Amino acid sequence: MKDFLHQYKFLQDVALANVFAGELKTLPLQGVVVPIPMHPEKLKIRTFSQVEELLNHAEIPFQNLLTKVNSSEQGKKSKKERLEAETLFELIHEVEATHYILFDDIYTTGATVHQAAKLLKDAGATSVEAITLIKG
C-alpha cells in the first residue's frame, strides 16, 4: 500500500484511482461526503487532488466544505508534532445540521481527521465520521 500511495500521489499515476473505485462504490455512505483538501500550493505541484480523484472514479458525490490553510506536510511530522499542530483547515461553505463523512487517503495519527471533524461539529454538523483508504 505504501508503494501504491507513493506512485499514485507523488508520481501522479492518476489511473490508479480506478484500483479502488469498485470497492469504494460498495460503501453504504449515508451523509454528505467531504474530502480532506490539499493546500492550494500542493495542488499546483501535484496537479490533482488524490482524494477527490478516488471519489470521482468511484462516482461518489461530495462537497468541498474545507480549505487547507496550513501548508506543512503532516507526513513529515512526528506523532507528537501532528497532534500539537496549528489549525489546518477553514470552512469555505456553510455547514448544515446533518451527518458528514470525511474522506481521506491515509489515516496515520488521526490529527487531520480530528481537526476537520471538530471544525464541522463546531459549525453545526450533527455528526461526523471518517473513511480513509489506508490506515498507516
Which whole number is the average pLDDT over 79-94?
Answer: 76
Q: Is residue 62 part of a domain?
A: yes
- Total domains in the chain come to 1
Q: Is residue 22 part of a domain?
A: no
Per-residue model confidence (pLDDT) at position 8:
82
Q: Is residue 46 part of a domain?
A: yes
Per-residue model confidence (pLDDT) at position 2:
83
- The rounded distance, in Å, linking the Cα atoms of 81 and 83 is 6
Q: What is the pLDDT of residues 30-84, one digit of tens each?
A: 999 999 998 889 888 888 888 999 999 999 999 999 999 976 665 565 556 655 6
- The x, y and z cell numbers of residue 66, run together, are 474545507
Q: Is residue 96 part of a domain?
A: yes
- Residue 106, domain CATH: 3.40.50
- Residue 35 CA, chain-centre distance (Å), reads 4
Range of the domain at 96: 31-135
Per-residue model confidence (pLDDT) at position 133:
87
Q: Is residue 110 part of a domain?
A: yes
Q: Is residue 108 part of a domain?
A: yes
Q: How is residue 83 annotated by DSSP?
A: H
81 or 119, which is more confident: 119
- The x, y and z cell numbers of residue 3, run together, are 508503494
The neighbour count for residue 115, using CB atoms within 10 Å, is 20
Q: Is residue 118 part of a domain?
A: yes
Return mean pLDDT, the chain: 87
Q: Is residue 112 part of a domain?
A: yes
Query: β-pairing, 66-68 with 32-35?
Result: unpaired
3-state secondary structure 98-123: CEEEEEEEEECCCHHHHHHHHHHHHC
Per-residue model confidence (pLDDT) at position 85:
60
